[in-house]
Amino acid sequence: MKLPSRSKSYMIPEYSLTGDLLSFLTCNLQYRYQNKGTLPPSKPVQRWFGEFIHGVMEEAFIQWKQNKTEFPWDWKEDIRPIEDLIDLRLQTRGLYPHDEDLFFSILNQPDNNLTINDLNEHDHKKLASARAEKAINIWGKHLFPLIDSSELMIKGIRNMPQYDENRSRSNYYGINGVVDVLTSMKINKTLEQSNLDNYNNKIIEILKKDPQFQDKIKNADDEDYEIIIDYKGMKRPPIEVNDPKSENKWESHKQQILTYTWLRSKQEDSKSIFAGIIFYLNELVPSKEDLMLIKEEMKNGLIDENTIIKYKNDFDLIDNWQEDDKAPELSDDFKLGRSIRIINIDENEIEKSLEKFDEVVYDIEESLIKEIKGCKIQDAWKAEADERTCSACDFKTFCKKNKNKPKEFKIP
C-alpha cells in the first residue's frame, strides 16, 4: 500500500498597517532586519513611545470607564500608576528607551508640569510622561465619553497582488489593525444632544466646522455612523516631502485610516464610517527638535497656508526663534489644533489606498521570495530612507547605502 505524501503547508501572509506598511515605507532594509529578522533596534525610542502612548490612552480609558474620575487627572495619583503599568508591560517585551535614570527621576517628582524648556532631546521618558499627561487631560475629557469600542482588532483578507501559482507564497494575504471607534449613538446618548449641536466637546466642535463631514451627515440615509480614531506618537507631518525617496507620512497616514475604514466595514457589527481622526500627540508638548522641523517646513512651504494664517502669531514665534534660545510659549489653541487631523472618507479614495497597500505587499513579497531563493539580504531589500532615518539606524555600519555615501572632508 502506497502512503500519500504530506500535502504542502499552506500559509496566508498577514500584514499590519503600522508594523508592516509604515515600517516598510520608511526603509525596506530596516524593515527586513527589525520586522522579519531578529535584530531589534538597540534604542527603539520612536517605537517605544508609540506603544507607550497607545497603552496609556487605552488604560486611561478603561479606568475612566470604571471610575468616571473627573478631569483634570492628578499626575501623581491618577496618571503615574498608569505610566508605571504600561512601562512594565513594554519591558516584558524588551522595549526600553535609553536614559532609564531620567524616567525614575521624574517618577519621584511631585508633579509633571514640565515645559519644553525643562527637557532636552535625550529626556525621552520625561517627554513621554509629559505628553501622556497632556493627552489625557486635554483630549481624554472630550474623547473618552464618545468611545464605543477601545483597541478594537479589525482584520480582512485580499487577493495576493500579481498572484503567480509557481512563484507566489499564497493567493491571499491578510491585513490587520487596531483602532478606537466612536459611534453617533454613543455621542448622542452621552452628551444628550443630536446633530452635533453640543459645543462643550472639542472633538464635536471641530467636526461641526468640517464642511465635508457635515455634508456626509446631511446626505446620509441613516443617522447611525462611526468614526475611527488613531493615535500617533509623533509631530504632525508636513503635507509634502522635498526628497522623492522619502516617505510622505501625511499621505501614508491618510491611507492608513482609509484602509482601517475598509477593514472595519468587513466586521459584522460595523456601521457606515463617516470620518477618521488622527491625534498627533507630540504636538501637545513639542520638543526643540520638533520646533526646528516646523521652522524648516515653513521655510520650504510644507505647511498649509490657511493653517499658517490661522495661527500666525504662533508661527511667527517659531520663525523668529533660534535653537539655542528659550523655546517660545505657544498658545494652547495652536497645540490643540495641530494635534488633531480629520480624515474624510471617500469610496474612491478607499480603493486607492487599498491599491497602494497591495503595491507595498507585492514589494515585500518579492523581496522575501528573492531572499528565499538565495539572494543576499542587502540585494533583495532596498535601502531607501531619508537622512534622519539613516543617521538613527542601528544597521548603518554595514548598510551599502551608507557605505556608498561620499565622505565629507572638512579643511582644517
Query: pLDDT tens-digit profile of 187-211?
Result: 654 444 444 444 578 998 899 889 9
Task: Judge residue 401's burial from the number of C-beta atoms within 10 Å of its C-beta, 0-12 exposed, 13-18 middle, 19 or more buried.
Answer: middle
Per-residue cell: 143: 474623547
Query: pLDDT tens-digit profile of 358-368?
Result: 999 999 999 99
Give dist(CA 387, CA 21) in Å, integer: 20
pLDDT of residue 196: 45
Give dist(CA 320, CA 81) in Å, integer: 39
Give dist(CA 120, CA 77) in Å, integer: 26
Query: pLDDT tens-digit profile of 233-252?
Result: 889 999 887 666 667 889 99
Give dist(CA 106, CA 88) in Å, integer: 16
Per-residue cell: 188: 448622542
Q: Quick one: pLDDT band at residue 6, thresholds 50, 70, 90? A: low
**What's the mean per-residue pLDDT of the chain?**
81
Read out DSSP for 193-239? -STT--TTSHHHHHHHT-HHHHHHHHH-S-S-EEEEEEEESSPPPPS
Q: In percent, how much of the chain has pLDDT > 70?
A: 79
Q: Quick one: pLDDT band at residue 264, thresholds 50, 70, 90? A: very high
pLDDT of residue 230: 92
Q: Say which residue the cell 508594523 belongs to.
A: 19
For residue 38, is pLDDT > 70? no
Q: Quick one: pLDDT band at residue 263, thresholds 50, 70, 90? A: very high
According to DSSP, residue 381 is labeled S
Question: 72 preceded by cis ω (within 30°)?
Answer: yes
Please give the average per-residue pLDDT across 302-328, as a whole number. Answer: 93
Per-residue cell: 181: 471607534
Query: pLDDT tens-digit profile of 326-346?
Result: 889 999 999 999 999 999 998
Per-residue cell: 53: 502612548
Task: Judge residue 397's burial from the number of C-beta atoms within 10 Å of its C-beta, 0-12 exposed, 13-18 middle, 19 or more buried.
Answer: exposed
Q: Quick one: pLDDT band at residue 101, thresholds 50, 70, 90? A: very low
For residue 406, is pLDDT > 60? no
Distances (CA, A) of 338 to 18, 138, 249, 332: 21, 13, 15, 10
Please give the average per-residue pLDDT across 110-135, as a whole number. Answer: 63
Q: In percent, how much of the chain has pLDDT > 90?
A: 42
For residue 231, is pLDDT > 80? yes
Q: Quick one: pLDDT band at residue 407, thresholds 50, 70, 90? A: very low
Query: pLDDT tens-digit profile of 127-185?
Result: 889 999 999 999 999 999 999 888 899 999 999 999 988 888 889 999 998 888 888 76
Query: pLDDT tens-digit profile of 368-404?
Result: 999 888 998 888 888 877 777 777 677 777 787 665 5
For residue 288, is pLDDT > 60? yes
Q: Which residues pair with 280 in a beta bridge?
A: 232
Give dist(CA 244, CA 223) in Å, integer: 42
Please give the average per-residue pLDDT across 66-87, as a whole number. Answer: 92
Cβ 175 vs Cβ 158: under 8 Å: yes
